[in-house]
Amino acid sequence: MKAVCWHGANDVRVDTVPDPKILNPRDAIVKITSTAICGSDLHLFNGYIPTMEKGDILGHEFMGEVVELGSAVKNVKIGDRVVVPFTIACGNCYFCTSDLWSLCDNSNPNGWLAEKIMGHSPSGLFGYSHIFGGYAGGQAEYARVPFADVGLFKVPDGLTDEQVLFLTDIFPTGYMAAENCNIKPGDIVAVWGCGPVGQFAIRSAFMLGAERVIAIDRIPERLQMASDYGKAEVLNYEEVDAGEVLKEMTGGRGPDAVIDAVGLEAHGNDLMGLYDRVKQELRLEPDRPTALRNAIVACGKGGHVSVAGAYGGFLDKFPMGAAMNKALTFKMGQTHVHRYLRPLLEHIQNGDIDPSFIITHRLPLEQAPHGYEIFKQKKDNCIKVVLKP
Ligand code: NAD
Ligand code: ZN
């Protein structure tokens, strides 16, 4: 089959690779009909995440049709049209049964390696390096999905791929980011980053009752989408001092909650804090002002700081004094996608939101390298790329 493979920083290629096989009775094979490139894929593309190997298949936002099933799978049938959460979860462990799906204890066979490198073992993710389980991703013609009974969600008839594809990640991620703000009527929420995650966080904050949402970015078309479609008030942080303006806009009190929908991109930190060999492979960016630091400093007293942006290892210059003295509450994590799939699907079915608003580019799988390039460089007004295998 054809698959998008990682070959090094800024080097992805469409290779011919062996088709995936059922390896475990709980597996399924999905023939992929739509798959997207995520801001998280840019961390791999930038070379920020260690333990990628040449030839690793990328992609964690995908959906398609079930074409093969292991003998133990009961909830799905061949021919079912399904979306696949990007977080891999067994459905049986303490964390899965506590509705904390992205913390599954049984989905990372390389947990020992992660433990050694990072001091903790994350759960498995599709297409996201060997410390996250070494699973082949879904920017491909086919993918193997483990724990298929809980890892595949049937799509109801009458909904297009583009309406449901983002249930795999960015819609639940934006929604959980907003939910972590503990929004009360009248609240003002500020969102750093108007990429796909930020856009869904903005929409979700309003769905959860925020009175005002103020969105911050530097890319004009992303700010435009946030204001036109998201109904947010917007600030370009290259034109104004966002912290000062936020203070004025909130009567001096600061927002009730802040969301970091940026993550690693803006940071020049010791990204993973790893042993020297891996550290040398990381490309450290210059130490720019960062979204998370700014968000903490801007957040009003007693407020919530919700971190959806992805981080690894250590983060220095963390404004701990501001966090402590303002009694801020921090919430973060990989999204518990399984928890949000059904309720968010209902919002789509009710017409509360059509997630396809985010798509700016539709490309054949073969053009994935071009898709990565324009998404990374924010060229051609690119906000979200969907690939069609
Ligand atoms: P993206 O790269 O398209 O968007 C990031 C946006 O942040 C860009 O528009 C950029 O211009 C803006 N930005 C950069 N520095 C900024 C700053 N200092 N202040 C304000 N804005 C700034 O990525 P995305 O797909 O929207 O993803 C956003 C983040 O969410 C990534 O870090 C990604 O890894 C993470 N993510 C996390 C989860 C999760 O489960 N927690 C899931 C999906 C994505
Ligand atoms: Zn993603």
User: Helix and strand tally (H, E) in the chain?
Assistant: 14, 16
pLDDT tens per residue across span 238-256: 899 999 999 999 999 999 9
pLDDT value at residue 48: 81
pLDDT tens per residue across span 304-353: 999 999 987 766 677 899 999 999 999 999 999 999 999 999 999 999 99
For ligand 1, pick from 194, 265, 335, 359 the residue to mutate: most ligand atoms within 8 Å of CB.
265
Sign of the C-alpha dihedral, residues 46, 356, 205, 334? Answer: negative
Question: Which ligand is nearest to the Cα of residue 242, counting in written order?
Answer: 1
* Residue 264 in contact with ligand 1 by CB distance below 6 A: yes
What percent of the chain has pLDDT above 90?
Answer: 85
Mean pLDDT calculated for residue range 89-100 = 98
Following DSSP, what letter does each residue of 60-88 receive, concatenated? Answer: -EEEEEEEEE-TT--S--TT-EEEE-SB-
pLDDT tens per residue across span 44-55: 998 888 899 999
Which atom number of ligand 1 is nearest to the Cα of residue 40?
34
- Structural element, H or E, at residue 56: strand 56-57
Contacts of 325 (CB under 8 A, 6+ apart): none
What's the whole-model pTM score?
A: 0.95
* CA 1 vs CA 17, 18, 351, 366: distances in Å: 6, 6, 36, 12
Question: Which pair of tokens denotes residue 15?
Answer: 């290779």
Sign of the C-alpha dihedral, residues 268, 271, 274, 275? Answer: negative
Side-chain-side CA neighbours of residue 293 (13 Å) = 14
Sign of the C-alpha dihedral, residues 179, 181, 185, 188? Answer: negative
In the predicted model, is pLDDT for residue 282 greater than 90? no
Distance 262 CA to ligand 1 centre (A): 3
Distance CA 193, CA 96 (A): 30
Side-chain-side CA neighbours of residue 271 (13 Å) = 25
Distance CA 299, CA 302 (A): 8
pLDDT tens per residue across span 175-195: 999 999 999 999 999 999 999
Q: Are 34 and 165 in contact (CB under 8 A)?
A: yes
* Residue 266 in contact with ligand 1 by CB distance below 6 A: yes
Q: Are 189 and 314 in contact (CB under 8 A)?
A: no
Cα 259 to chain centroid, rounded: 14
Distance CA 82, CA 34 (A): 11
- Residue 174 phi/psi, 5° resolution? -65, -40
In the predicted model, is pLDDT for residue 372 greater than 90? yes
pLDDT value at residue 250: 98
In the predicted model, is pLDDT for residue 278 greater than 60? no
pLDDT value at residue 265: 60
Task: Work out the mean pLDDT of the chain and round it to a whole number.
Answer: 92
In the predicted model, is pLDDT for residue 227 greater than 90? yes
DSSP annotation of 274 reads -
Which atom number of ligand 1 is nearest to the Cα of residue 288?
18
Distance CA 155, CA 161 (A): 9
Q: Among candidates 388, 385, 380, which has minimal Cα distance to 358?
A: 385
Range with the poorest average pLDDT among 4-13, 141-150, 282-291, 333-342: 282-291
In the predicted model, is pLDDT for residue 277 greater than 80? no
Range with the poorest average pLDDT among 102-116, 273-287, 326-340: 273-287
